[in-house]
Structure 1
């Protein structure tokens, strides 16, 4: 509390101009929040994130920023708005998520940061994917790929993975495999850029690529022992909570994909075991993507060959209860 009071005082003292301490504080906060966003419940960071976005907008609107600072402030605004777009998505509000994403796109363009502009297209693809708009998800992924054709950061690999997942929802097997192959090729030439340095959702490490790759294959609606093995490996990649790339949302998604893959082979007990860690998540971690993932498992249980089994019926009921809770149950 004392530290927060001190920084508010310092920022107030610099209101006549954008001081270096204020700018450094905002940069440090963006990096801090980005790094922990994927690891903690949204309520842990949401207030801080909305606060720094408001402060950044205020500084841009004040007209007191130096020309040399304006580009940095617009980039900060783009990063903050991008994270708040993800927050709105996590809360199950795709309309607000897309509004924040469009704000991030405008700010990225004003910052003349093509990497960030490209990343925002990936974000819009992600929002559309979970909002059950696969055509839009595919469009945004391909638009981002076109915008970032000569970039080398991991955002290019992310866009290929997003294209594969969107194509899978459309049943386009050829595009799924082509996009996954392109992701592998891009990974070989990836060089960390400034977005990768920010971390969190702005970095797309190998472990997330593995998860995206198998999810696209699982969503095609068929599988065998080989897909089960690959999905087990992808889920294993998120088994260490101390790994710097660990994310509870990706872990839940990978476990749900493993449940689906096992159901394709008739392994109901294995599917139940795979989805158990997801269903044990506390309410403040049950974001829209996680609920969407377990709902896919429920749909497979309901319409698949195991639908009449007692375990399948009980699991369906448990998933229904899990999904009925308000996403993330933010405190008042």
Structure 2
């Protein structure tokens, strides 16, 4: 509510902890019963709609009838006209006095008892609004499971699960008054929003991806959690260079690096994203410096989000190599790109089959193919793409498809114009890309990887 429209009643009710209609009605009813026992005529507590009018200056056109005014004046020890006046016009509100009151009222035992009962009622409500810790533990476990299986779960299912978990966190926030539980729930909401940002990008929906990333950053700011803010800023940087704003991406990545409490994994991720952004700007020296910074993060520092929870929030050696391969391609460094892409694929294939991540292995394979195309090795590129063409449609996310688009552009170079193998590979890429959820959502080809 606009502060200038608040009544004195609004501020006094808020300070007593009876701002809600239910709490106010309970306190009103207690005072009304006391007055009734003294022989006074009293009215029932105002309904919610009338109560809300009492809180907004200028909403009540005529003074409440005496049976209502009598209760209000006993509750707050102030004339009803002053209670409904603008709070901004009262000079000595901290003492609970009207501007026209020459001295504070004399306290009596009934008022002390009433205040004590109000305090007991409010404390009881606060105690009741405390969630079972097992509810929060289950939400935490579900988020960890979703993060750790992100790379093995189709994007559509990730989106549905993350949405449900975000909704749970938001609903539970309204059901507790515990500061500690609020912190846990805002952290949960930040994680769910972060994963929704990532999966929205995978589905080719960049606008909601940015909104989810900003929401995650805001939740993190609310509780002062550096790692979750760093992850969100990294995601916003990532989305910025995909949207053709690499300069903004550099700024966001550097901002993410300034948050406290970051472990090596978080910094490795941010430096890798910064390197990609410099690659789009053709800043060779800065891109190579950021790659070195990413590879040099070995202090042993950890944080809960990137290391203990991990999964989608992690940024291991395979993911780092995959990102660095893409940066090398932006710098037209075929040798470096092939080396990093091959390393990413080797690390990924060393894992058990159920732990291999298509969002990492697929893009790395395409980067390997494109590095070979830079060397005019069409057959080598075809070989690298063999496993990519086997990826099911629901797994064909933006990162994979935009890299394939870049590979398709490479095949238009004059030296490939009359090569049957190049024409066949181009047709395969087009057919593969057509069957993708990102295309069905209307995704375009942004400045992901330039030709």
| TM-score (normalised: structure 1) | 0.87
The alpha carbon displacement at 1:289 in A equals 1.1
> How many residues are matched?
312
Superposed CA offset, 1:216-252 (max 9, x none): 112212424x653443223222224517863211101
* Distance in 2 of aligned mates of 1:182 and 1:232: 20
Residue aligning to 1:20: 133
Residue aligning to 1:38: 151
Residue aligning to 1:117: 229
Residue aligning to 1:88: 200
Q: Does 1:318 align with 2:428?
A: yes
Residue aligning to 1:69: 181
Residues 1:122 and 1:229: Cα distance change in structure 2 (over 3 Å)? closer
The alpha carbon displacement at 1:256 in A equals 0.8
Residue aligning to 2:162: 49
Unaligned 5+ residue runs, structure 1? 1-14
Higher mean C-alpha displacement, 206-215 vs 113-122: 206-215
Q: Which has the higher helix share?
A: 1
Residue aligning to 1:143: 255
Residues 1:127 and 1:243: Cα distance change in structure 2 (over 3 Å)? farther
Q: Do 2:253 and 2:274's aligned partners in 1 also have CA atoms closer than 8 Å?
A: yes
Unaligned 5+ residue runs, structure 2? 1-127, 441-451
160, 178, 181: which one aligns with 2:271 = 160
Q: Do 2:129 and 2:177's aligned partners in 1 also have CA atoms closer than 8 Å?
A: no
Residues 1:65 and 1:27: Cα distance change in structure 2 (over 3 Å)? farther
* Distance in 1 of aligned mates of 2:271 and 2:134: 39
* Distance in 2 of aligned mates of 1:237 and 1:67: 43
* Distance in 2 of aligned mates of 1:267 and 1:243: 29
Residues 1:329 and 1:26: Cα distance change in structure 2 (over 3 Å)? farther
Q: Does 1:237 align with 2:347?
A: yes
Q: Do 1:78 and 1:108's aligned partners in 2 also have CA atoms closer than 8 Å?
A: yes
- Summarize the alignment of residues 272-291 of structure 1 with structure 2, pairs less than 5 Å apart: 272-291=382-401
* Distance in 2 of aligned mates of 1:145 and 1:102: 16
Q: Does 1:255 align with 2:365?
A: yes
Q: Does 1:294 align with 2:404?
A: yes
What is the root-mean-square deviation in Å for CA atoms of aligned residues?
A: 2.1
The alpha carbon displacement at 1:212 in A equals 1.7
Q: Do 1:130 and 1:289's aligned partners in 2 also have CA atoms closer than 8 Å?
A: no
More contact order relative to length (CA 8 Å, sep ≥ 6): 1
* Distance in 2 of aligned mates of 1:222 and 1:304: 20
The alpha carbon displacement at 1:129 in A equals 3.1
199, 206, 212: which one aligns with 2:317 = 206
Q: Do 2:291 and 2:324's aligned partners in 1 also have CA atoms closer than 8 Å?
A: yes
Larger Rg: 2
The alpha carbon displacement at 1:69 in A equals 0.8
